[in-house]
């Protein structure tokens, strides 16, 4: 399994290749991945190709329409095209059943993002029968248009390059394509450039892809796959796996996966993980992540650097809380791999056991995002609330001086709609540091988080597209009082264990903060947009009425 020689970044740790036992173990690993649905069928592959082909036709017609409206000659209108280039897991070759398609639209200089992409093209897509759940998000760090096309989730980003006509064979790897672009456009282009550069820098693309499928499967099972929640996203996990592939250039996937956890369990953060040297370009002048030059970059906790110019840290959302959880899960993965490699009957499935989030804590913060106008509005509002949730985690640990630890779940749980009113809930597990358990205190410490949650709600309600009907509420729940729609979705063959553990919380069926309490509706009786303080008032009054209710939980007075 010796790979073709490639230029390597730094010295490999070991050039050793696989033994027959390693190859057999790799076969078992691939079989498990296929059984888990991580490879799509030929039929699903055909559907994706048709989706990309049809989208290409739509963006071509869109650009021709814009060229005509700008008064260009007929010959130029006929030549006008846009590129539709997939990136992310699809471009890396690690997509599976039900995976999203991330795609870049590359348009000519006369087609801008704010109006032509997010208004004109969005309008054309809205009138397309195959398109549902269309959601433009122009304010995102990388502006994106989300949709379902024939049931396939597609995320479109846009880049307008300094060319009147975009050739079909445009080389996006050529750095000159970045000339004169703003930062948002450069970030959009970098999705494709980064994927191509990762594949160029790994010694064996096949081994890399299998190892990355394993790591992504593990990260999702263990609840640490989510960039928006402050964990790591797909690009970060890909760079980490690629770096381990560089360290072990001839290793089979069954060798790479245990070494992945071993290397990262020993990594000296905040030393950055990089696949190549950082490059600056004085002519292009785009901002580049460089902890040696930029004091702000040195504050990042787990820097994982993209390999294409301009290099960026794709883990800038990682906080003290999420870093702690990521490291804990990597250590758990390392321990599981040691047992698997040692034999004794444990197979690869032991690595991918889901993290029992609702058995790991006795207390939770429950955040309910509620809308009044149906599922499309809920998709928009809960996306905003989810993007702010890591701020609540940081505020709680800050205001309790680290004496209350937060474990955010990246998953949302949707309640059954009541007419057009829809609610989606997020959960943050609460615990105290290990030294509290070691002291075996008779009385757990108590925390009043009313001011903390009020500050968080003020932040959430700064949403630029807020309107009456959008509401969010935060409350404390015990494990035994989790809402039924959550319990139904987490029940498993281990549900008896869950019931047994719930009984440890005490026999009382009442919660100091009732899960059935209605969240603030976010509007007054007149239907007008209330002041920020008015939005919070009902939540805070509800909190005050419950404060000091004899709660034996580690939190009291939570909104």
**Has 87 been labeled as part of a binding site?**
yes
- Asked if residue 408 lies in contact with residue 229, where contact means CB atoms within 8 angstroms, the answer is yes
- Asked if residue 47 lies in contact with residue 99, where contact means CB atoms within 8 angstroms, the answer is no
Spell out the SS3 assignment of 117-172: HHHHHHHHHHCCCCEEEEEEECCCCCCEEEEEECCEEEEEEEEECCCCCCCCCCCC
DSSP designation for 529: P
Structure tokens at 419: 């007419």
Q: Is 60 a catalytic residue?
A: no
**Has 480 been labeled as part of a binding site?**
no
Q: Is 399 a catalytic residue?
A: no
Annotated catalytic residue: which of 22, 155, 204, 368? 155
Gyration radius (Cα) of the chain, Å: 25
Annotated catalytic residue: which of 100, 290, 376, 414? 100
**Separation in Å, CA 139 to CA 107, 109, 204, 476:** 20, 21, 38, 31
Structure tokens at 270: 């905040």
DSSP designation for 70: T
**Separation in Å, CA 320 to CA 238, 312, 531:** 22, 20, 33
**Has 101 been labeled as part of a binding site?**
yes
Strands 144-149 and 131-137: antiparallel
CA distance 311 to 304: 10
Q: Is 225 a catalytic residue?
A: yes
Could you give the dihedral angle defined by the CA atoms of residues 92, 181, 175 and 76, in that order, rounded to the nearest 10 degrees? 90
**Has 88 been labeled as part of a binding site?**
yes
**Has 89 been labeled as part of a binding site?**
yes
Q: What string of DSSP letters covers 272-315? A: PB-SS-----TTT------TTT-TTGGG-SS-BB-SSSSP-BTT
**Separation in Å, CA 277 to CA 8, 108, 111, 370, 547:** 11, 32, 35, 46, 55
**Has 102 been labeled as part of a binding site?**
yes
Chain position carrying tokens 């889901």: 354
Residue 270 has a CB neighbour count (10 Å cut-off) of 15
Q: Is 174 a catalytic residue?
A: no
Q: Is 216 a catalytic residue?
A: yes
- Asked if residue 402 lies in contact with residue 428, where contact means CB atoms within 8 angstroms, the answer is no
**Separation in Å, CA 171 to CA 85, 197, 289:** 11, 13, 24
**Has 204 been labeled as part of a binding site?**
no
**Has 382 been labeled as part of a binding site?**
no
Residue among 309, 239, 238 at smallest CA distance from 274: 239
Distant-in-sequence, close-in-space partners of 294: CB < 8 Å, separation ≥ 6: none
Kindly state the helix (H) or strand (E) to which residue 493 belongs, with its residue range: none
Annotated catalytic residue: which of 22, 102, 368, 481? 102
**Has 154 been labeled as part of a binding site?**
no
Kindly state the helix (H) or strand (E) to which residue 135 belongs, with its residue range: strand 131-137
Spell out the SS3 assignment of 308-341: CCCCCECCCCCCHHHHHHHHHHHHHHHHHHHHHH
Annotated catalytic residue: which of 25, 64, 188, 225? 225
Q: Give the N- to C-terminal CA distance of the chain in Å, as an integer.
A: 58
Q: Is 102 a catalytic residue?
A: yes
**Has 399 been labeled as part of a binding site?**
no
- What are the binding residues for ATP? 87-89, 100-102, 155, 216, 225, 234-235
Active site residues: 89, 100, 102, 155, 216, 225
- Specify binding-site residues: 87-89, 100-102, 155, 216, 225, 234-235
**Which amino acids are annotated as binding site for Mg(2+), given as ranges?**
100, 102, 155
């Amino acid at each position: 399994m010796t790979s073709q020689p490639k230029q390597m970044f730094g010295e490999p740790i070991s050039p050793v290749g696989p033994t027959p036992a390693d190859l057999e173990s790799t076969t078992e690993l691939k079989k498990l991945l296929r059984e888990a649905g991580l490879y799509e069928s030929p039929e699903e592959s055909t559907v994706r190709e048709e989706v990309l082909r049809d989208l290409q036709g739509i963006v071509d017609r869109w650009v021709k329409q814009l060229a005509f409206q700008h008064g260009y000659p007929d010959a130029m209108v006929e030549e006008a095209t846009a590129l539709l280039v997939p990136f992310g897991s699809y471009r890396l070759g690690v997509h599976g059943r039900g995976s999203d398609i991330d795609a870049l639209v590359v348009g000519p200089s006369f087609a801008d993002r704010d109006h032509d992409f997010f208004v004109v093209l969005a309008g054309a897509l809205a009138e397309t029968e195959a398109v549902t759940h269309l959601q433009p998000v122009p304010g995102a760090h990388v502006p994106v248009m989300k949709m379902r096309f024939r049931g396939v989730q597609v995320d479109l980003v846009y880049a307008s390059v300094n060319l009147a006509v975009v050739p079909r064979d445009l080389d996006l790897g050529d750095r000159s394509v970045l000339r004169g672009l703003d930062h948002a456009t450069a970030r959009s282009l970098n999705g494709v450039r980064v994927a191509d550069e990762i594949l160029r820098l790994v010694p064996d693309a096949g081994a890399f892809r299998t190892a990355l499928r394993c790591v992504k499967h593990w990260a999702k099972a263990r609840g640490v796959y989510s960039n928006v929640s402050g964990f790591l996203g797909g690009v970060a996990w890909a760079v980490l796996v690629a770096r381990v592939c560089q360290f072990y250039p001839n290793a089979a996937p069954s060798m790479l996966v245990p070494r992945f956890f071993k290397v990262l369990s020993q990594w000296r953060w905040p030393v950055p993980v990089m696949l190549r040297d950082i490059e600056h370009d004085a002519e292009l002048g785009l901002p580049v992540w460089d902890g040696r030059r930029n004091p702000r970059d040195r504050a990042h906790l787990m820097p994982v650097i993209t390999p294409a110019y301009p290099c960026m840290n794709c883990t800038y959302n990682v906080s003290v809380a999420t870093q702690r959880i990521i490291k804990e899960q990597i250590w758990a993965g390392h321990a599981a791999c040691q047992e698997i490699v040692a034999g004794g009957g444990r197979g690869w499935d032991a690595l991918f056991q889901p993290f029992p989030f609702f058995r790991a804590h006795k207390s939770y913060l429950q955040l309910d995002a509620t809308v009044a106008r149906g599922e499309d509005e809920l998709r928009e509002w809960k996306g905003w609330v989810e993007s702010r949730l890591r701020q609540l985690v940081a505020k709680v640990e800050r205001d309790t001086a680290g004496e209350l630890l937060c474990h955010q779940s990246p998953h949302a749980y949707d309640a059954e709609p009541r007419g057009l009113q829809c609610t989606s809930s997020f959960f943050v597990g609460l615990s105290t540091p290990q030294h509290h358990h070691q002291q075996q205190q008779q009385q757990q410490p108590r925390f009043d988080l009313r001011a903390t949650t009020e500050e968080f709600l003020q932040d959430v309600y700064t949403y630029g597209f807020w309107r009456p009907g959008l509401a969010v509420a935060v409350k404390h729940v015990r494990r035994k009082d989790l809402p039924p729609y959550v319990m139904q979705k987490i029940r498993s063959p281990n549900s008896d264990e869950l019931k047994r553990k719930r009984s440890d919380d005490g026999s009382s069926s009442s919660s100091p903060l009732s899960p059935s309490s209605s969240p603030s509706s976010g509007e007054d009786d007149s239907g007008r947009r209330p002041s920020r303080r008015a939005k919070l008032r009902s939540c805070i009054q509800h909190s005050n009425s419950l404060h000091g209710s004899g709660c034996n939980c580690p939190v009291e007075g939570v909104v």
